[in-house]
Chain A
């Protein structure tokens, strides 16, 4: 049954990407509040600012430090992602990111193409401990929350915006409720429109954020280097935004032979591009 309430939408730039919030029967002010929440939390979770909560946590490696509830939840989500991906989604890739020259946002200028000697990052559970409102990193380790933060934030935003809303943070999206026409939220996936309802979607790709001689931002934790698996882009629909993000990245990293089987077990829809 079509809904009589109008669809409100709000678009903005945050987390280094285009974002959009959509809701049925909600005021524009509520969506603007969602933007402010995104910008504020994004500023606390970025590794590109030395003053962010994440950067201060990385700089405090070796000691227990107090963390916010948001960072605690994200670190726990990261440990969960490590386990469910067999170690392929590993937020402890920050040293590798810096090693390939990804030291600042791509929007702020060209990156150095120099690559230092790379090593696989350590297993996340070996270098990260999380307690209630406190966490500890082993010396030498570093965290880059990357897409996990986007998916997790999209899920939180979607919940906060009410029973019929969609949050899209740089392609990581979460859809709740029946959508504008009552049959689900129409979302583009690999050029096809699909209807999402209480589901999330995400895309992992090596086609964006490229620089130098074949460098890109997606590190393969097995090598510590930018991934070369035969897949270039994977889009996934799953139960939540953060789960879609983890499944998409894992599928891209395990390559074209195993990705269809993995996606069949973990995803509700998937696009595999070579």
Chain B
């Protein structure tokens, strides 16, 4: 009789723990809007301009200017 009571108690405790865990996890879902990658992998600060001849991308360390260039990079 006592052994049966212990088995029943253990079963009730296990089921209760499982149910409570499921309820807790459901109530604390991971933010579905969280980014899937670190922001460092994004091209933050860069700008891309597409023209008829190709695409120019400037990173944050290269600033455009309106002044006349003193020289250019070119194919030789």
Contacts and interface: CB of A to CB of B under 8 A. Distances in A.
Interface of A: 7, 9, 16-18, 20, 22, 150, 166, 168, 170-173, 180-181, 183-190, 192-196, 199, 201-205, 207-208, 233, 235, 237, 244, 260, 263-264, 267-274
A203 to B, nearest CB: 5
Instruction: Say whether chain B's binding surface is mostly helix, strand, loop, or mixed.
Output: loop
Contacts of B55: 260, 271-272
Interface string B37-51: 000000100100100
Nearest to A189: B73
Given A171-B73, A203-B73, A208-B76, A186 B54 contact: no
B67 A181 contact: yes
Interface stretch (B5-13, B19-27, B57-65): B57-65
Contacts of B73: 168, 171-173, 187-189, 201-203, 235, 244
B69 interface: yes
A210 B47 CA distance: 33
21 contacts: A20-B71, A171-B76, A173-B73, A181-B67, A187-B69, A187-B71, A188-B72, A189-B72, A190-B53, A192-B56, A193-B64, A193-B66, A194-B58, A194-B62, A194-B65, A195-B62, A204-B75, A233-B75, A264-B46, A271-B54, A271-B56
A17 B54 CA distance: 25
